[in-house]
Chain A
Amino acid sequence: MDAPLRLLLVEDDLKAADLLVERFRAQGFDVTHAANGELGLAAAQDARFDVMVVDRMMPKLNGVEMVTQLRAQGLETPVLFLSGLGDVEDRVDGFAAGGDDYLVKPYAFAELQARVLALSKRQTQTPDTILQLADLTLDVVARRATRAEVELELNPREFTLLEYLLRQKNQTVTRTMLLESVWNYSADMQTNVVDVHISRLRAKLDKGFETPLLHTLRGQGFVLKEAQS
């Protein structure tokens, strides 16, 4: 990251906010925290942010009302709603107010970070069509994947999975993120259905190569990166 990403966090749960601020700072973000909707509104009007993370339920001005007001003032900073509610109707409320993404508590920090990054990218860049990591190359348009010049035989689902992992390279990706992004499911699945797909992909991607690229982080998820830390 060249310039640090400027993030506004609007969250009334101070303990949760401290933890988030700390973790975002550790990842190199420039974080400002506002403890309620009114303060959040003022902060957003004062300074320019790249992304806002807003809790939906807050005293005084709630998240949805706050974002509705900001949008009415023409502010188009991407917004991710955090919420303890997960119903479709609540999601719809959030999107109708001008939210760009919606994350239901509990979430993994990796997921929040990935979504925040995705939101900030969405505004500034068009997605790359050639993705690379070490000797792995993925041509999104030609639907072709090669590693060390050798073509990988991937089925369409595996290709989508690899593309997603590659776009989030060097970042932890959770099972929930994969279910939502690759299979488009928001259902809460208990068995690790995703793991089997990952191990099949790993068999095609890493077998016969000296450096493995696809790693499993126990208790967290998966990461596509060059070397094990």
Chain B
Amino acid sequence: MSLLRATSFRAALAYTGVLTLSVALVLGLLYHRLEQHLLDTQDAVIWREAAHLSRVYEQEGAQNLAAFVSVKSEANQGFVVRLSTSLGVYLAGNLADFPAPENTQIAQEGWFYASTPEAQIRARVLQLDDDLVVLLGQDMHDTQSLLATMVRLFALALLGLTIFGLAGGAFLARRNLARVAALNQDLQPVLQGQFASRLSVDARGDEWALMASHINTMLARIESLMADAKQVSDNLAHDLRAPLTRLKARLEALLEQSEATARDQLADALEDVDGLLHSFTALLALSRLESGAAKLTRQPLDGAELLTNLHDLFEAVFADKQMHLVLELAPVNGLEGDEPLLVQAVANLLENALTHASVPDSRVVLALSESDGDILISLTDGGAGIPTEKYTEVQKRFVRLDESRSGDGTGLGLSLVAAICRHHGGALTLGEASPGLRATLRLPKRA
């Protein structure tokens, strides 16, 4: 199974998604608070300088303030100061020109951002008196590079989280897939009909082990039910066949001793017993197949040989009824199964064609072919066929299209064929051959 389709991988994927999203949210909040904090710290420095400047102005006058500003502007790295008249004429400081409006951007509470030839600053303007104005600002470079570093770190953290999450998910999924694969491996014999096999239960005692032990309990139950079914059919076989066998033996013994006049009647009685036994055998075979009590013997078979031998046996019977039994064998290989059962199935189809499609000069085709990885054995007759709507019905037990039930046949033939197909993991399909019926055994090829 593909990793992407594994439930545990999908769960890990969803979990990693949610986790990444919430961590991103927290980091975003953190970033926002940090930025605020850095700006507040920076702004506090400006306010302090502003207080200092206004004190100097009040105590020492405008002339000394200009000198003080000149000293300040040279000493402090990243500090921007500009003393001007209220009309904007430069008096002192390290910024010659007031930033042009297109280079400024208003922020909250009187702050604005501006681009000067040297740097990007955050600044504000203070009115000292009616004539004097001072611009105070701080280079944003340090703050911004610190924030950029934070962003890079956060992005790396999120990337790492995603990678670890996905890797962890893949690891968990692989482990789970491996356990599911082991479980499926253990179940293979069961799927093949070996209900005596059990799953191995892991000593860890986790949920997988619990499930395996539950499946084992179910298997044990199925096995015992099937053993019961087998026992019942075995007992039935023994109990009913024994008296029938005795009856047959008595009739045979009588037939040998009796007068010619009684012989015909005894022979009729013997034929009736044989018919009864035939039905009984078919019914018993059917129940054993359908209860799963019969194990499937898988042996490699030569399909062409199987059909050729049946053709050899039946060809004369068909010829006797002026019908032509024709073989059409395509080269196929990979047929496997229980030979006696498959012979029985094809023989039943041939017998059906003999009894229900006995049209003089008609062709009956026994064919072997291959389609979609399945092996097809089909028999096409030249009889009247079966109405399409009755296809399912005729495969049921004891169903005969001849309502009077007067003709030959047990009504079990096709049900047995269908059961044999299912037993092999295949299916019996009926189709219109216009004229006639095409019955096809579809059997899976050897893996």
Contact = CB atoms under 8 A, between A and B. Distances in A.
A219 B267 contact: yes
Interface string B267-289: 11111000101100110110010
Interface in A52-71: 57
A187 B317 CA distance: 17
Contacts of A187: 340, 343-344, 347
Interface in A177-204: 183-191, 193, 196-197, 200
B291 interface: no
A220 B270 contact: yes
Given A16-B242, A88-B338, A106 B277 contact: yes
A84 B238 contact: yes
Nearest to B273: A106
Contacts, number: 111
B267 A188 contact: no
Given A88-B340, A188-B282, A105 B250 contact: no
Interface string A82-97: 0011111100000000
Nearest to A184: B309
A105 B245 contact: yes
B431 to A, nearest CB: 24
Contact of B316 (A19, A84, A196): A196
A219 B320 CA distance: 21
Contact of B246 (A19, A183, A186): A19
A187 B284 CA distance: 14
B266 interface: yes
B284 to A, nearest CB: 8
A200 B295 CA distance: 39
Given A13-B242, A87-B294, A219 B278 contact: no
B354 interface: yes
A207 interface: no
B249 A19 contact: yes
A106 B245 CA distance: 5
Nearest to B351: A191
B25 interface: no
A43 interface: no
B320 A196 contact: yes
A202 B270 CA distance: 24
Nearest to A57: B238
A121 interface: no
Contact of A107 (B245, B250, B253, B313): B245
Contact of A105 (B241, B278, B347): B241
Interface in A147-195: 157, 183-191, 193
Nearest to A187: B344
Nearest to B242: A13
A85 B246 contact: no
Nearest to A15: B246
A191 B245 contact: no
Given A16-B245, A16-B246, A188-B281, A219 B408 contact: no
Interface residues of B, number: 53
Contacts of A122: none
A193 to B, nearest CB: 5
Given A87-B294, A189-B351, A218-B264, A110 B252 contact: yes
A209 B121 CA distance: 133
B355 A191 contact: yes
B340 A84 contact: no
A183 B317 CA distance: 15
A109 interface: yes
A35 interface: no
A118 B128 CA distance: 136
Contacts of B409: 190
B33 interface: no
A19 B267 CA distance: 19
A146 to B, nearest CB: 24
Nearest to A193: B317
B37 interface: no
Interface string B117-153: 0000000000000000000000000000000000000
A184 B297 CA distance: 18
Given A186-B340, A200-B316, A85 B234 contact: yes
B408 A190 contact: yes
A7 B114 CA distance: 123
Interface in B64-109: none
Nearest to B277: A106
A23 interface: yes
A219 B246 contact: no
The 4 lowest CB-CB distance pairs between A and B, nearest first, are A219-B267, A219-B270, A84-B238, A218-B267
16 contacts: A22-B253, A84-B241, A84-B242, A184-B309, A185-B340, A188-B278, A188-B281, A189-B351, A190-B408, A191-B317, A193-B313, A196-B319, A197-B313, A200-B316, A219-B252, A220-B267
Interface of B: 234, 237-238, 241-242, 244-246, 248-253, 255, 263-264, 266-271, 275, 277-278, 281-282, 284-285, 288, 294-295, 297, 309, 312-314, 316-317, 319-320, 338, 340, 343-344, 347, 351, 354-355, 408-410
